[in-house]
């Protein structure tokens, strides 16, 4: 981002068609939940084919401390998710293509909408990235077994009641670099927003850690009334992120992919 008075301009001349329209739409969709207690979102000031202009954020330690701000963020994230989406895979109004990854090499992924999580996650996330990463040996076999179990509905319900998972309004790329800390608390940037599983954002946060992470997670879990075994499910939701990192950045991410596959296979009993 380049500073310009009280704004930041994020730009790329060769960005894929619709990239910045999708980002702006995602930010506005997430911001629409802020009035009902959702997370604070960087404001979109302008957008065109090659850039998006955002408000400038002054990064600083939260005035009431990191843990208190983190707890507020966790509860606010639960409220954003509760705003919901029409379906798993549904894009924000004004977006027509789904992009994931860094500005210089974003992945375009299928736009698949589904009433069930498993069909969406396998068809629009796991299988498309697996086709690009081409795992070998045991990992390739595990990946296919995990995908088959997920696609068949193994994680479409959760909790003691067996309630069907509902599509949450997620940020979609909520690693710590996309959560900026200001005097007033956390503000999110750079989304890959869509209707997704509620654990998708928590899984991304835990991949690389974040300030006040445990306070975020505990506050979220309480506000969202997560089932007792939600932490055991995180590796399955991290699997997509680790596969993308393996595809984009190379073999250094092979071990995290293997760990996520092992944990996912244990969870699913495959």
What are the DSSP calls for 152-171, one per residue?
TTTTSEETTTTEEPPPEEE-
Distance between CA atoms of residues 261 and 147, nearest Å: 10
For 187, residues 6+ apart whose C-beta sits below 8 A from its C-beta are 39, 40, 41, 42, 57, 179, 180, 181
How many CA atoms are closer than 13 Å to the CA of 28, on its beta-carbon side?
17
Q: What is the pLDDT of residue 3?
A: 42
113-162 per-position pLDDT tens digit = 999 999 999 999 999 999 999 899 999 999 999 999 999 999 999 988 89
Angle between helices 213-224 and 66-82 (to 10 degrees): 40
Q: What is the pTM of this model?
A: 0.95
Cβ neighbours of residue 73 under 8 Å, at least 6 residues apart?
A: 39, 179, 185, 186, 212, 216, 219
What pLDDT does residue 161 have? 86
Q: Provide the pLDDT for residue 171.
A: 98
pLDDT at 2: 43
Closest CA to 187 of 69, 64, 46: 69
Per-residue confidence (pLDDT) for residue 5, from 0 to 100:
64
Backbone φ/ψ region at 104: left (φ over 0), alpha (ψ -120 to 50), beta: alpha
Q: What are phi and psi of 93, to 5 degrees?
A: -55, 130
Instruction: List pLDDT tens digits, range 248-264.
Output: 999 999 999 999 999 99
- The stretches in the chain having pLDDT less than 50 are 1-3
């Amino acid at each position: 981002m380049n500073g310009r008075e009280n704004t930041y301009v994020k730009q790329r001349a060769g960005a894929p068609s619709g990239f910045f329209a999708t980002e702006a739409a995602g930010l506005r969709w997430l911001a629409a939940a802020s009035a009902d207690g959702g997370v604070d979102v960087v404001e979109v000031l302008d957008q065109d084919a090659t850039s998006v202009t955002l408000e400038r954020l002054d990064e600083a330690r939260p005035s009431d401390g990191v843990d208190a701000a983190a707890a507020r963020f966790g509860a606010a994230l639960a409220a954003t998710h509760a705003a919901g989406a029409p379906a798993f895979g549904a894009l924000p109004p004004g977006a027509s293509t789904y992009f994931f990854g860094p500005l210089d090499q974003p992945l375009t992924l299928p736009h698949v909408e589904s009433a069930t999580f498993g069909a969406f996650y396998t068809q629009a996330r796991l299988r498309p990235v697996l086709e690009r990463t081409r795992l070998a040996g045991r990992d390739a076999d595990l990946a296919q077994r995990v995908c088959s179990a997920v696609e068949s509905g193994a994680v479409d319900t959760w909790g003691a009641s067996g309630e069907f998972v509902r599509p949450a309004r997620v940020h979609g790329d909520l690693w710590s670099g996309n959560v900026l800390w200001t005097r007033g608390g956390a503000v999110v940037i750079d989304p890959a927003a869509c209707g997704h599983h509620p654990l998708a954002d928590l899984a991304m946060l835990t991949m690389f850690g974040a300030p006040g992470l445990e306070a975020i997670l505990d506050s979220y879990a309480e506000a969202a009334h997560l089932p007792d075994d939600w932490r055991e499910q995180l590796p399955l939701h991290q699997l997509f992120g680790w596969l993308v990192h393996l595809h984009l950045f190379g073999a250094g991410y092979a071990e995290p992919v293997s760990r996520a596959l092992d944990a996912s296979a244990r969870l699913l009993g495959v």
